[in-house]
């Protein structure tokens, strides 16, 4: 009679210890998942901040290039007018040169603006991609599920049923 009771106690104890080990494993995996989640979000924020900084730098650079283009256009037009006046040239030929300088400068500014818009669109796509990368980092670690206590209950019931007939 004592043997089956000891076996029952050992079997129940084994079920409890196994469940506790599963619970501890779950807690460890949960802590690792939560840390990965925190790290993934932080990494995503850092990426987005870097992209935002680059977008600001690109905008400033574009504005500076536009300003320099306007200054350069004014200088070239003034040089052409001064040179023409010194040479005693006037009329349609001088005006054609001035118009051509304006057209070239305008084309240059259109190109600068187009290049800036292409860069801005690329940075917008990169910003969107950081969200995907962040989700991928989060999902790279499986979210743990807690052990089911029914497994413990059924294990104890099974052990009890096994030894019930021996008592």
pLDDT in tens, 43-68: 999 999 999 999 999 999 999 999 99
Residue bearing the bigger pLDDT, 134 or 84: 134
Residue 149 is assigned to a structural domain of this protein: no
Domain containing 62: what range? 2-139
Q: Provide the 10 A C-beta neighbour count for residue 141.
A: 16
Segment 77-82 mean pLDDT: 92
Distance of CA 98 to the CA centre of its chain: 49
Sequence-distant (6+) residues with CB within 8 A of 102 are: 73, 77
* Element holding 148 (H helix, E strand): none
Residue 144 is assigned to a structural domain of this protein: no
Residue 121 is assigned to a structural domain of this protein: yes
Number of domains the chain contains: 1
| Full DSSP string of 38-66 | HHHHHHHHHHHHHHHHHHHHHHHHHHHHH
Q: What's the pLDDT tens digit per position in 133-143? A: 999 999 999 99
pLDDT of res. 2? 64
Residue 32 is assigned to a structural domain of this protein: yes
Distance CA 151, CA 136 (A): 32
Residue 153 is assigned to a structural domain of this protein: no
34 — pLDDT class (breaks 50, 70, 90)? very high
Could you say which DSSP state residue 114 is in?
Answer: H
Helices 2-87 and 92-139 cross at an angle (nearest 10°) of: 180
Distance CA 120, CA 94 (A): 39
Residue 152 is assigned to a structural domain of this protein: no
Residue 145 is assigned to a structural domain of this protein: no
Residue 158 is assigned to a structural domain of this protein: no
For the whole prediction, is pTM greater than 0.85? no
CA angle 14, 17, 23 (to 5 degrees): 140
């Amino acid at each position: 009679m004592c043997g089956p009771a000891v076996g029952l106690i050992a079997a129940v104890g084994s079920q409890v210890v196994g469940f506790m080990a599963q619970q501890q494993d779950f807690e460890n995996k949960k802590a690792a998942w939560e840390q990965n989640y925190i790290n993934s979000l932080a990494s995503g924020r850092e990426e987005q901040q870097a992209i935002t900084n680059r977008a600001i730098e690109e905008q400033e650079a574009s504005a500076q290039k536009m300003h320099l283009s306007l200054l350069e256009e004014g200088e070239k037009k003034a040089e052409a007018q001064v040179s023409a006046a010194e040479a005693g040239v006037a009329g349609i030929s001088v005006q054609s040169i001035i118009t051509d300088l304006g057209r070239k400068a305008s084309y240059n500014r259109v190109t600068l603006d187009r290049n800036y818009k292409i860069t801005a669109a690329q940075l917008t796509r990169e910003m969107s991609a950081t969200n995907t990368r962040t989700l991928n980092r989060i999902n790279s670690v499986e979210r743990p599920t807690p052990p089911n206590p029914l497994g413990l209950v059924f294990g104890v019931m099974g052990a009890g049923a096994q030894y019930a007939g021996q008592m």
